[in-house]
Amino acid sequence: MLWGGCGGRSPPLSARQPTKIGLSPIKIRAHEGRMTALAFLRNNAPFLATGALLSFLSSFGQTFFISIFGGEIREGFGLTNGEWGLIYMVGTGLSALAMIFAGGLADRFRARVLGVAVVALLGLSCLAVALNPWVAALPLVIFALRFTGQGMTSHVAVVAMVRWFVAARGRALAVATMGFMAAEAMMPLTFVWLKQHVEWHLLWVGAALFCFACLPILHRLLRLERTPQSTAENTAALGMNARHWTRAEALRHPLFWSLTPALMFFPAFGTAFWFHQVHFAQIKGWDHLALVAVFPLGTLSFGLFTVIYGWAIDRFGAARLLPVYLLPLVLGFSLNAYAPSIGWTAAGVILMGMAGGGQSTILNAVWAEFYGTRHLGAIKAAVASVMVLGSALGPGLSGWLIDVGVGFEAQLLGYAASFVFAILVMLIPLRSARAALTVAA
């Protein structure tokens, strides 16, 4: 059922149809922009909670969670670092391909249907990890986990926030990202500790049960969506040249491809760092639990800069912030490469968290800013496929390099240099695109 009842409650002002209350879309956006932070959270609590919960649940398909079990999976199936990385690359690569086609479902189905469906499939994928006895099936299991978790659950959360909010888009993305931040803060340390007391397959069963337990909560939160489908046409935000861009048009525009290195490199090399965390701890001579103990510092930084960038997007626009957010990664990966102690890596992780705050807000807001919101689901699907492809290539490439003798620390320096390239290549197309926004305004 696409519509469903509202349980007898009147929707908040920002969710009612403009034609019924006499407000134009422009006035709605102005009202949204003037809200205080507390009023914004109070008036939109169900919608923001939906985004945060979906972001939290996506963690079961994220590398920072899967990599916790990397040692057990390699040992259980007799895999080397390179072989495990290759399997992960294949599964994640298939996920990226599937996202190109499945991501457009966010333009056809309401979040109440799609969100519940993908979380149910994510729970089944977690069960598959726990029950799979065959190494040949491992790529398919990884595909299911990555597609439903990192791919579709994150996709539905982001598209919902970007489509439901206009003037407060940055703040909405920041609040939704808090769910991901909470998972990233709690899960690594918690599950590394739990592995010492509970058989690892059972932990994946617990993850599946948690997903299933969240289904009725999601269904209740999504009884009413903030922008009804019948009024989405009226409240949609325009992009460059004061129009909506289709995915085909966006893919032919130079801005999309100039941002591809930024889209791909952080997921690729950030994923490689998380994926090989056990190996990183071993070559540094550190205990794995001691290493993951500093990860919450990165999560705190991630949360802080998610809020900062969310406010800055609403104040200055995502376009102006794009060249800035990757800069901490240059220093962060360099620090991790040379780190003589965990304290140095703690600083590197904090810098990675700073960039993560920009990745989760700026790169999600910029597509609506430049290309409009009418075809946002399809455009974001292409974006997500590039990012997922990057997260597929990173662990596989890094694992292969480790197997052939290229040290992980040397790789980290190469990653730092790649972010300099990503910043430089976007500058000229970004300037032209911003000019098109100015003309449209």
For the stretch 36-48, pLDDT in tens is 667 777 777 777 8
pTM above 0.85, yes or no: no
| Rounded Cα–Cα distance for residues 315 and 318 (Å) | 9
Low-confidence spans in the chain with pLDDT less than 70: 1-37, 103-112, 164-169, 223-239, 241-242, 437-441
Half-sphere exposure of 85 (CA within 13 A, CB side): 25
Q: How many Cα atoms sit within 13 Å of 344 on the Cβ side?
A: 12
Q: How far apart are CA 17 and CA 231, in angstroms?
A: 7
At 104 the pLDDT is 65
Residue labelled with tokens 């909470």: 182
Query: What are the tens digits of pLDDT across the range 146-188?
Result: 888 877 887 777 777 777 666 666 777 777 777 877 887 788 7
**For position 124, what pLDDT does the model report?**
93
Q: Is residue 3 part of a domain?
A: no
In a domain, 24, yes or no: no
Kind and range of the H or E element at 98?
Answer: helix 81-102
Q: How far, in Å, CA of 357 to CA of 181, rounded? A: 9
Residue 13 belongs to a domain: no
Separation between Cα atoms, residue 265 and residue 269, nearest integer Å: 6
Q: Which amino acid appears at position 415 of this protein? A: Y
Give a yes or no: residue 27 inside a domain: no
Residue 33 belongs to a domain: no
pLDDT for 192 equals 83
Specify if 1 maps to a domain.
no
CA distance 188 to 37: 31
How many independent structural domains does the chain possess?
A: 1
Query: Could you tell me if residue 19 is inside a domain?
Result: no
Which pLDDT value is given to residue 204?
A: 92
- Residue 11 in domain: no
Model pLDDT, residue 331: 93
CATH of the domain at 280: 1.20.1250.20
**Around 437, how many Cα atoms within 13 Å sit in the side-chain half-sphere?**
20
Q: What pLDDT, on the 0 to 100 scale, is given for residue 424? A: 93
Q: Which domain holds residue 278?
A: 43-440
The amino acid that residue 142 corresponds to is I
Integer CA distances (angstroms), 172 to 85, 118, 165, 365, in order:
35, 21, 7, 10
Output the pLDDT for position 181.
76
Q: What is the mean pLDDT of the chain?
A: 78
Task: With CA atoms as reference, report the closest residue to 138 among 89, 211, 180, 81.
Answer: 89
